[in-house]
Structure 1
Amino acid sequence: MADSAWPGEQLVVAAQRGDVDSIAALVSGAHPNVQRFARSLCATPEDAEDAAQEALIILYRKIGMLRASGALASWMFRIVRNECLRRARTAMRDHPPLQDTAVASAEEEALQRLDAGRVAAAIAALPVDQRRVLIMRDVQGLSGRTVADALGLTTAAMKSRLHRARAALQLALRSAPGPLSGGNHDGNEG
């Protein structure tokens, strides 16, 4: 298994100061982690490779803009995530998904849209630190260690935030009126 340690803080600081050899070593040292992020976030292997390359180019060009040398992992994660999202939006715009051959009833379709909208709104209403950990862990399916590393947290702190986020989300979904609050769609409590 490849070493997943990020380049040391001393190398990051030297690269931030413009030392060309340090920048090259930083890009090279970050490459395995950036590729791992991209593979876990992008829809296709091709998009992952392109996103990783783009992220490393941004690292090379903008290392001086990184505010805290210890925040390299979370900064690179955000760059890769944004690049993967951009590629997914472009793919959806260029190639809309084919319609499912099974047709849901109009009522089922409307309820699914309401549920998805309510969940999205409830997630968006979470505090930013809880929202980030919930999306990375539960929506993107990243491992707890990866999420903790990307956010600069201990695993215990990440788990605590995730627990608070899940509890807040459940409370918001239970207390808001709509199809999800009763656990089923027929209006009967159960």
Structure 2
Amino acid sequence: MVPDDELLSRSQRGDMEAFVLLIERYQKMLYTIAFRLLGNSEDAADAAQEALVRAYKNLPGFRGDCSFRTWLKYIITNICRDALRRRKRRPTISLEGFQEAEGVFLEVADGKVLSSPEEVFLAREGEDVIHKLLQLMKPEYRMTLIMRDIQGFTYDEIAAILGCSVGTVKSRLSRARQFLRQYLLKEREHLTNPGVYIKKGGEGR
């Protein structure tokens, strides 16, 4: 497979075929991120398409300060952030009262620690319930959780994109994680994987 760097270089020289090959690798990633943030397939498809157009227009200015994959993540996240700001308000759950409990983590029956929400996602068959939960969160909490635990952005990067302090990012992340954990505790009898449970003790994140 041709490396991204080579396709990127050719794309910046005007090779459209190379650009098409490059974006084909990341179309699914863009859609998945947009779907998690926006909550429906139509808006996610539109956002992913806009991200590809924006990437093409800004390709000449891409200097390689980060990987092409990370650059696309920045683009799609900003597009989704703007889309959420334009939306009419809809009912959401306030997470102001949620604080991440010290020393609480998730563990499966074989002893593997599930130390982050996205690992819990993968321990279940399907993501329908998690997807619904994410949509109940206010956009700023949902975006913070997804950007940190799923996309892998640093606290500083999230703060820069969302226009808030690192402290605010950490606070939102803590409350969003605890909201998911409390829900899983409440609904543990409905978990597809019966080996997942809440265990107290150990080192919290």
With the shorter chain as reference, the TM-score category is: 0.3 to 0.5
Question: Per chain length, whose mean CA-contact separation is higher, i.e. which structure has more relative contact order (CA < 8 Å, sep 6+)?
Answer: 2
Relative to its length, the structure with more strand (as a share) is 2
Structure 1 or 2: larger helix share?
A: 1
Q: TM-score of the superposition, structure 2-length normalised?
A: 0.45
Larger Rg: 1
Q: TM-score, normalised on structure 1? A: 0.48
